[in-house]
Structure 1
Amino acid sequence: MIDVTLENFETEVIAASMETPVLVDFWAPWCGPCKVIGPLLEKLETAYEGRFKLVKIDSDQEQQLAAAFGVRSIPTCILLKGGQPVDGFMGALPEGQLRQFLDKHLPPAADEPEAGPELEPELPAGSDAQLEKLQQSVAVDPANDEARFGYVQALLLAGRLEDAKLAFAPVLDKVAVVRRFDSLQRVMEAMHAAEASEHGLPALDARIEANRRDFDARFARAQSLIAQHRWTDAMDELLEILMRDKAWNDDAARKTYIAILDLIEPPKAKVADGQIPPDDPTVATYRRRLSSVVLS
């Protein structure tokens, strides 16, 4: 277990996760549940014999890192692979659930049989066949958050906002605790705001030209770009806000930027040897740009 600060974060977390999955435990000395889960995580790090690396971040001392990961309460644990977060959870889970979480993401132990190759062909993104398959997955297991996220994600990418809202409704109460659901809601709110706005891009551009710090206009412009599926243009606009005021409007620019990344990141392909698939180059580039601005 390693204590991480802003100074060693790049080495101990980002660079290390390129080789081995890194589990980040956000904690604080006053947090009772943190004292429960901490020893369990250290025990599992030993039991898993190098299949993941555990690091701890004191959220009181490292508020910049906690904000960068959107930590709302502690304990919060986030797993990184290939330099980016892939999953996480809040609260002090029992050991059995911690093992389930880890086993879902970690490569098999050396003496465990490896999974065979993924034989089922990938369906074209946004196709009727893909949407039908995702809809069936949700119908078979309505409590499967991963399946529901994938279905709503695909609907939004296909431009079916109203269908996405209907599919998302059963998990509205999870928005506060599941970051990726929060991301879906932010994207839908941006699309809805753009539809309801009386100001087009030319009017917003004129306002920004007159005042580079008109963050309301910049944010509205980013929402319009999201509605047009111009994802990178929207993130560029949000970065303009972040470079001038990182905490503007209760961190709205950073949270919306992360929401876009969560939406456009393609699902990780299954592999037989436990290796981490290559990152989507656009997502990887914009994650690095966000980190460089937020942590500067």
Structure 2
Amino acid sequence: MSGAVDLSALKERADAQRQQPQRPAPPSRSADGAAPSSPARTVSAVIDVTDATFETEVLTRSTQQLVVVDLWAEWCGPCKQLSPVLESLAARAQGRWVLAKIDVDANQRIAQAFRVQSIPMVVAIAQGQPVAAFNGVRSEAEITSWIDEILSQLGDALPGMSAGDEMPEPEDPRMAMAEERLNAGDFEGALAAYRAIAEVEPGNTEAASAARNIEFVMRAQAHDPAIVHNAAPHDVDAQLAAADVLLLGQEPDAAFDRIINVVKVTSGDDRTRARTRLLELFELFDPAEPFVVAARRKLATALY
């Protein structure tokens, strides 16, 4: 899921806010304070998070323990069903994970970062990246199984989790070299390295995914951003370029709609080319992403 969600903007905003004078934090609510306390909710197990505290309470904390983010709103009926279940499970988790509650109406930057289209939405964060998510209400048993599976896959990756006996798998030196090139800004060198790995190991989805992402970024960055506004409606190449620019700018819905419109007004090779490009862009995301699911439905309607 991490490739589909970019949380860096929230970190940058938090960094900027730290450079400004900070207002004193409101006093913590005690059990006998004005706000009613819940026997299932404790300070360490459940925390309320805002745009300003997201980096510290979610991203930084997730380097030590799993953080389960509950995206909710006061008007949301299903949220009121799900939240008490999550809070109860968090209180009984004995520190294995923490629940971070975020009001999407009051913290719209976070909602935009997670591309929230429906709530309740629950996202698991580890090492600063989203690793799994679900939408809607689930039973206590389903949520417990979901979290246990995540913790099992994480193993000893987080210091705050109990240590196990299994040794971590050794790092692939080829992948490490490719990542070093990418971090150094050598996109062409990184792309060649990831492609080489994918060619000899067709089952290496990490290398194949990295290659696809780099190919897209290099292509999108080569376009003039003005193409979004200047592209002629029937100019297929221009419309595909505009879609790249929109997607690079974190506007997947607009990007996909551009190409779907091309599919609607073209035929033959042009239509095939547009459809193929759209399917390639879908591969950059988790297929369960709501905007991918919606775009696939629109594409099917446009084709048939």
Q: TM-score, normalised by structure 1?
A: 0.47
* Rg larger for: 2
